[in-house]
Amino acid sequence: MTSTYTEIVRHPLATKEGWASFTAQAATQAPPRLLPVADFERLDGLEREVYNAARQDYHSTLLLVATPDIKKIITTGSKLLINNRGKQLGRRGLLVSGASGTGKSTSITQLGKKFQIETERRTPGVRDRIPVVYIVCPADATPKMLATEMAIFLGLPVAERDSPQSVAHSVAAVMRRVGTGLVLVDEIHRLYLSGKRGRDASDQLKYFFDTISATFVYAGLDLAETGMFDGVRGRQIAGRFIPVTTGPFTHRGAEAQRDWAKLVATMEQALRLHRHKPGSLIELAPYLHARTGGMIGSLDQLIHDAANDAIADGTERITKNHLDEVILDLAAINQYDPDPGPGRARHRRGDGR
User: Would you state the pLDDT for residue 90?
Assistant: 85
User: What's the confidence (pLDDT) of residue 232?
Assistant: 87
pLDDT in the model for residue 342:
55
* pTM score of the predicted model: 0.83
The CATH number fitting domain 68-246, selected from 3.40.50.10420, 3.40.50.11540, 3.30.160.110, 3.40.50.300: 3.40.50.300
Rounded to whole angstroms, what are the CA distances from 252 to 85, 231, 273, 350?
41, 38, 31, 5
CATH 3.40.50.300 residue ranges in the chain? 68-246
Query: How do the pLDDT tens digits run along the chain, 353 residues long?
Result: 444 444 555 788 999 999 998 888 754 457 789 999 899 999 998 999 999 999 998 888 756 677 888 899 999 999 999 999 877 788 999 999 998 888 899 999 999 999 999 999 988 888 889 999 999 999 988 999 999 999 999 999 999 999 999 999 999 999 999 999 999 999 999 988 878 888 899 999 999 999 999 999 999 999 888 778 888 888 888 899 999 999 999 999 999 999 999 999 999 998 999 999 999 999 999 999 999 999 988 999 999 999 999 999 999 999 999 999 999 999 899 888 887 655 444 433 333 33
Q: Taking all residues of the chain, what is their mean pLDDT, rounded to a whole number?
A: 88
Q: Note the pLDDT of residue 131.
A: 96
